[in-house]
Every structure is written in C-alpha cells, then in structure tokens.
Amino acid sequence: MRYLDRIVVVTGGSRGIGEGIVRAFVREGAHVVAVSTDRAGGDALAAALGPTCRHVHADVRRDEDLAALFADVVATHGRLDCLVNNAGTHLAHRAIDDITPGAFRDLLDLNLVSQFMACRLALPHLRQVQGCIINMASLVATLGQHHAVDYVASKGAIVAFSRALAIDEARHGVRVNSVSPGNIDTPLWQSFADASADPDAMRRGGETSQWLPRLGTADEVGRLCVYLAADATYTTGVDHVISGGAEIGYGTKPIS
Ligand code: NAD
C-alpha cells in the first residue's frame, strides 16, 4: 500500500501499458481514474478492479474533454496526486514523403499536445499536494527509428518537455519525469506484428532486440510508474528507460 488513498489519473488507461499502470496503482491503494476513448475496454477494466478504479471516457486531443476530466476528478476526490500521460499511438512506418503535414500535426496533437494540455490543467491541483507527473515517451526518442519521423519527433519532444517542466515546477514541489519503454507486449505492439508479413518472425525479432530476451510487460512499466510516484521522491527531470537492455551493445542480442 505504497500510494494509499492518493488520487491518480492515467490516460490511455483501458489496455496495454496504461492498463498495467492502472492495475499497479490500484494494488498500492490508490484511487485511479483511467481515461480513454475505449468505452467498453475501460469500463470492463474498472468493473474488474472494483471501487478504487473508475473509467472516464475522454479524448485527450480535445481540450474540453480534458478540462471536464480534471474538474470532475477534483470535484469527486478533492485532490490530485499523480498524472500519468500515457495515451498515444504509433502509426504505420513510412518515409517522410508519405507523411502528409496534416497527419504529422495530428500525431503531435495526440502524442504531445495532449500531454501539454493535461499538465497545464492538472498543475494547479498537483502544486497543492506536491504531486507528480509521469509522461510516457519511448526509447526511440533517443535511438531514432526507421520510417517513423512523426512518432520519434513526438516522443523526443516529450522527453525535452518533461525536463523543462521539471525545472519550472521544482519550486512548487511538483516532480516531472518521463518513462521511455522499449518493446512492451501490448495490443499496439501486437498489431504491428499482425500487420507484418511474418508475425511470428517479427515477435522473435522483438524478443531478441534486448539482452533480457523477451518483450517487457505492461505490469513492469506500471511498477516503474509506482516507484516514480511513491518512492523516487528526490528524482525529477529524468527520462527512465525500461527496455530490457535494448540500447546497450550492438545489434541483435544472442539468447544464451
Ligand atoms: P495501446 O494502443 O495498446 O493502448 C493505447 C491506449 O490509449 C488505449 O487505452 C486507448 O484507448 C488510449 N487512447 C488512444 N487514443 C486516445 C485518445 N485520443 N484519447 C484518450 N485515450 C486514447 O498502446 P500501448 O502500446 O499500451 O502504448 C501506450 C503508450 O506507450 C503510448 O504513448 C506509446 O507511444 C508508448 N510506448 C509503447 C511501447 C510499446 O512497445 N508498446 C513502446 C514505447 C512507448
């Protein structure tokens, strides 16, 4: 019970990494508001987890949805201790010639601008309790990725945004960190495997991209987020890589 009776908002909290984060905070005694556009999945998760979890249907691209969300959270719970900005996506890999300006802007809206807006709306409440923010970035923010300039740009900006916000909010006692996962086994990751010519080969390739020879789990990312919120009280402005060692050493990793 490391986060007993604290109030946590997790965007993208209906499935995948967000579900892992929601489950981890509920286990530690928090009241969790899971936010997503997936009404069926989010409602089912909240029902399974019981009274300390509820699902709010909201689109993080819509400023009015976010404003209503934080007004509701504070009216219901009276405080906000932790905001996890996790909602985001990765579009199909393609070269810059095939990314329209509109599509590029749309992805930045979902992955990046939504985090800016949620932070802006949550901070007046977080400052009152010296709360914290965790922004979901990606390992590829640092490594780059083939045919994904839109996604990589959005995630690189999240790391930089989080570090800059950490500087400004330190005087209020609010900590801001980012989390950069490598290959995590989620519906989004599986959708890329399923869309590939050989899904089994793609999964094997994913498993052998890090020294720990498997994909990471949403629960492992969830536990890192609980650690950042509950335990890492002298940590701010840091990007926390959770990748099984994908970025250390060269190329494909041998499974010993
Ligand atoms: P996922 O597609 O499995 O889950 C995404 C969640 O976000 C769902 O709950 C979905 O309903 C929600 N969502 C999508 N659009 C939304 C919107 N407009 N408003 C509100 N909610 C919305 O994805 P995932 O793999 O769990 O990824 C979660 C985050 O982690 C993303 O930001 C992603 O970029 C990042 N990430 C994932 C991996 C990985 O390997 N899976 C690696 C690095 C970073």
Active site residue 250: no
107: confidence class by pLDDT, cuts 50, 70, 90: very high
Residue 254 or 75, more confident:
75
Ligand 1: centre distance to CA 87 (Å):
5
Hey, where are the domains in the chain? 7-242
Residue 133: which H helix or E strand, with range? strand 132-136
Backbone φ and ψ for 178, nearest 5 degrees, come out as: -115, 160
Is the predicted pLDDT of residue 119 greater than 70, yes or no? Answer: yes
Is the predicted pLDDT of residue 254 greater than 80, yes or no? Answer: no
Could you read off the pLDDT of 226-236 as tens digits, one per residue?
A: 999 999 999 99
Residue type, 83: L
252: confidence class by pLDDT, cuts 50, 70, 90: confident
180: confidence class by pLDDT, cuts 50, 70, 90: very high
Is the predicted pLDDT of residue 256 greater than 70, yes or no? Answer: no
Ligand 1 pocket test, pick from 9, 10, 17 with the greatest ligand atom count within 8 Å of Cβ, gives: 17
Residue 256 or 66, more confident:
66
The closest residue, in CA terms, to atom 5 on ligand 1 is: 12
Ligand 1: centre distance to CA 154 (Å):
13
Ligand 1: centre distance to CA 171 (Å):
31
Ligand 1 site, CB within 6 A: 11-18, 35-38, 59-61, 86-90, 110, 136, 138, 181, 183-184, 186-189
Ligand 1: centre distance to CA 124 (Å):
26
Is the predicted pLDDT of residue 80 greater than 80, yes or no? Answer: yes
Instruction: Say whether domain 7-242 belongs to CATH 3.20.20.70.
Output: no
